[in-house]
């Protein structure tokens, strides 16, 4: 485990940078989120309660953003990179539903759609990790 104040410092950094550049919110969160996520995942290895709490927050967020897309499987999710990759692949299997849900008009490249979905995932994961860190009293 790392420094106990690390999550608070990272969240403070994210918030201060978002205040300075609100138009870059998704990019800023995506920049710092791997640190928070990997810290939170280390908590999951020490307690099933924290993982259950993360899943609860994640599922609630997912249902809000993607109500008509099944929740992805969490098996094999051991770090931020595998989480993004696995959940993004899951979303892309429902590409047609996503185009309708997000109201994407006209032809968009696969790369544009992937970036849009990645930012949606980043928000879901960020809110879920923040929920777990608050639950644990880390922030």
Q: What are the tens digits of pLDDT across the range 83-96?
A: 999 999 999 898 87
CA distance 139 to 133: 6
pLDDT in tens, 22-47: 999 999 999 999 988 888 888 887 88
115 Cβ contact partners less than 8 Å away, ≥ 6 residues apart: none
Q: What is the pLDDT of residue 96?
A: 77
**Domain tally for the chain?**
1
- Asked if 100 contacts 59 with a C-beta cutoff of 8 angstroms, the reply is no
Range of the domain at 42: 6-136
Q: What is the pLDDT of residue 37?
A: 87
1 located within any domain: no
pLDDT at 76 over 90: no
102 located within any domain: yes
């Amino acid at each position: 485990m790392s420094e106990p104040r690390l999550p608070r410092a990272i969240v403070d950094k994210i918030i201060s940078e978002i205040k300075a550049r609100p138009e870059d919110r998704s990019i800023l969160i995506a920049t710092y989120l791997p640190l928070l996520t990997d810290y939170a995942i280390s908590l999951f290895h020490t307690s099933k309660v924290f993982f259950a709490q993360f899943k609860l927050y994640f599922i609630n967020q997912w249902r809000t953003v993607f109500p008509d897309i099944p929740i992805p499987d969490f098996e094999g999710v051991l770090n931020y990179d595998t989480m993004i990759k696995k959940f993004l692949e899951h979303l892309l299997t429902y590409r047609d539903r996503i185009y309708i849900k997000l109201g994407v008009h006209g032809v968009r490249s696969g790369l544009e759609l992937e970036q849009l979905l990645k930012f949606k995932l980043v928000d879901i994961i960020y809110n879920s990790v923040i929920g777990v860190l608050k639950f644990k009293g880390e922030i």
